[in-house]
Amino acid sequence: MKRVLCYCLMFVGALVLAPHAFADSVVGTVGGWQTWTGTNLDQDGKPYWDNSSSDGTHMNVGYLLNGTQGSGAGIAGFPGAIPFWGATYTSASDTGGAADSSFYFTSSGSSQAALKIEIAGNANSNTFGWYDASTGAMTEIFSGPAGQGSTATFTPSATYGFYFGTGAGTYLTQSGAFSTAGAQDQHFALFQGTDGYWLGMEDLPFSSSDKDYNDMIVKVSPATSVAPVPEPATMTLLGFGLVGLVGVRRFKK
């Protein structure tokens, strides 16, 4: 009996201390989550983020996420070939995979942003933050001086997007919204990991850009500073179960 009670208490503790499930969802205009593999990395522009980088030995966001980056900086704890958000893509024939020019998110609460890498000449001035998808009001998460390894917790509005502030303008995941730069040019590549989203960004206008989406890469995941509280119904059922076990023990005595 003591062993059963111990297991029950361990289960309750696991529920209390379990990490948040990331419930923020994407609202887009075309496509959805598309799968790809490392063999699709050939820098031919399909998917839209798979282009040849002009950053010396560095390569595009796909190589960095997949851990097949050449010499130079890489990403610690790279997630692999995780799905990207975009138009229909066929990995077997390496066709399709155009960008969704406008997408945003619905919020489930606080999140944490981690700046994984910056590969840009303007790294010391580029900024990153979230904006209200209804009003366009912007809140900065990372200032220009923030570098690789920086983290920050933020609580966005009910519907929100991300912005990338550069010397050429401010780009939004809803490209061109609220009279910002880059109308219809998607400067974000969004990927879905097991515990959050990864965003690769392009900081130059498309007329002079290599479209490698490696200028800043940020991971957004559930905030871990506060442990989730189990649903009241769950706690009630567990309480009844424990009381029942105690009753059975007394009856046997």
Q: Is the CB of residue 60 less than 8 Å from the CB of residue 48?
A: no
Residue 237 is predicted with a pLDDT of: 41
Residue 200 is predicted with a pLDDT of: 98
Mean pLDDT (10-residue bins), the chain, 253 residues: 46 42 88 96 97 91 89 80 98 98 97 94 93 98 95 98 95 90 88 97 94 97 62 44 46 46
Residue 13 is predicted with a pLDDT of: 44
Residue 70 is predicted with a pLDDT of: 65
The C-alpha atoms of residue 185 and residue 134 are separated, in whole angstroms, by 20
The residues with which 130 forms a beta bridge, in sequence order, are 139, 162
Domain segments of the chain: what residues? 2-16+230-252, 23-222
Quickly list H helices, the chain: 2-17, 61-66, 232-252
